[in-house]
Chains A and B, each alone.
Chain A
Amino acid sequence: DVKVTQSSRYLVKRTGEKVFLECVQDMDHENMFWYRQDPGLGLRLIYFSYDVKMKEKGDIPEGYSVSREKKERFSLILESASTNQTSMYLCASSFAGGFSYNSPLHFGNGTRLTVT
């Protein structure tokens, strides 16, 4: 089974801090994604990456950046945390080989971030 591991389940940070959320997958997937989940809004894509050192903005990239130095690891960075970034953050990965439009996403268990 694919395992996507997010380093923290719960995180509390102060406004203005630089925050790192880490995600590691063990199935050699090319694609990796960061979503945030808020009640009533569903999942919104922040950034994604389809290869090492490659990244693309999703729908809500403002205030975030990402890093993918190794294929298995995809980091989300909050440059200066703000209270409106309090949310559940979900990492996901998927296979990109061949015709991959139907490759399902495999999700981690999420990191609930609170910014005070």
Chain B
Amino acid sequence: AQSVTQLGSHVSVSEGALVLLRCNYSSSVPPYLFWYVQYPNQGLQLLLKYTSAATLVKGINGFEAEFKKSETSFHLTKPSAHMSDAAEYFCAVSSTDRGSTLGRLYFGRGTQLTVWP
């Protein structure tokens, strides 16, 4: 079975500082991993996804994430935070079990990012 743990429900950084949002996964088979962002009063938008092509994945808005199999991690980073990055971020792992769970994602509980001026 797949599961995702996001360490830290709230992260605060100053504008211009490094953003690091942590995600660890549990999967019995090689996973596909995703990061989504949710701005206030909106649905979730895809930031980036890992599908085994490259361990360092670049996404939108300057975010990137590195897949580390040995650490079962997929942490999200951005070198320099911007005020507009304030949002909730969700890590998700895809179900790779054949059969009826095809296409299903398992989400972490989310990390709220606050950016201080």
Instruction: Please state if B96 and A107 are interface contacts (CB–CB under 8 Å).
Output: no
Instruction: Please state if B42 and A110 are interface contacts (CB–CB under 8 Å).
Output: yes
Look across to chain B and name the residue whose beta carbon is closest to the beta carbon of A32: B103
Known contacts A42-B109, A96-B103, A107-B45: does B32 contact A102 (CB below 8 Å)?
yes
Q: Does A84 sit at the interface, judged by CB under 8 A? A: no
A-B contact count (CB 8 A): 64
A90-111 vs B, CB cutoff 8 Å, 1 = contact: the mask equals: 1010101000111111111110
Interface residues of B (CB under 8 A from A): 9, 32, 34, 36, 41-46, 49, 51, 90, 94-96, 100-105, 107-110
The contact sample of 10 A-B pairs, CB cut-off 8 A, is A31-B102, A41-B109, A43-B44, A45-B104, A94-B103, A96-B103, A101-B103, A104-B34, A107-B36, A107-B44
Interface residues of A (CB under 8 A from B): 4, 31, 33, 35, 40-43, 45, 48, 50, 56, 58, 90, 92, 94, 96, 100-110
